[in-house]
């Protein structure tokens, strides 16, 4: 019989990875709105070049440009660490921001690296609590 703690650890990692995959899938889609459902209500974004954290409503406002633009990026999960009810993911995105309505418009380079802090909620669901990122220069 399998060790229950080991079985739970495997299930937790699968759940966290599924959340990460879903978040990355949404960021590359034409419908960005469900992205925010993957975050806790009190989530924080630490944005580049900003001293102040941003909450969910401010993040929604920031990402309103996704109504007219879409990310077309290569996404990479560089690392996932789990410890009890917390998980940490290191994510890299590299590509372009393209307009949805004008295929001839020049795309904008979009590179970002993120650390997501993910927490198991009371109901057992995993949600992102923090998105910390920077925008490195292109290689």
What separation in angstroms does the CA of 33 have from each of 23, 27, 57, 59, 80?
A: 11, 9, 12, 11, 25
Distance of CA 117 to the CA centre of its chain: 10
Exposed, middle or buried, 91 (CB in 10 Å: 0-12/13-18/19+)?
A: buried
pLDDT per position in the chain (139 positions), as tens? 678 888 888 999 999 999 999 999 999 999 999 999 999 999 999 998 889 999 999 999 999 999 999 999 999 999 999 999 999 999 999 999 999 999 899 999 999 999 999 999 999 999 999 999 999 987 7
Instruction: Flag whether 101 is in a domain.
Output: yes
**How many Cβ atoms from other residues are within 10 Å of residue 114's Cβ?**
20
Instruction: Flag whether 139 is in a domain.
Output: no
pTM of the model: 0.93
State which residues form the domain around 107. Answer: 4-134
Sign (positive or negative) of CA dihedral 7, 8, 14, 17: negative
Task: Report the CATH number that the domain containing residue 59 is assigned in CATH.
Answer: 3.10.450.50
Q: Structural domain tally of the chain?
A: 1
């Amino acid at each position: 019989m399998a060790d229950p703690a080991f079985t739970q650890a495997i299930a937790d990692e699968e759940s966290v990875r599924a959340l990460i995959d879903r978040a990355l899938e949404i960021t590359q889609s034409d419908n960005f709105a469900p992205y925010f459902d993957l975050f806790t209500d009190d989530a924080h974004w630490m944005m580049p070049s900003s001293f102040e954290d941003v909450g969910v409503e401010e993040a929604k406002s920031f990402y309103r440009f996704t109504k007219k633009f879409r990310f077309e990026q290569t996404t990479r999960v560089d690392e996932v660490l789990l410890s009890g009810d917390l998980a940490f993911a290191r994510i890299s995105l590299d590509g372009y921001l393209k307009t949805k309505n004008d295929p001839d418009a020049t795309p904008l380079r979009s590179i970002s690296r993120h650390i997501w802090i993910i927490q198991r909620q009371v109901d057992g669901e995993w949600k992102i609590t923090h998105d910390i990122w920077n925008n490195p220069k292109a290689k």
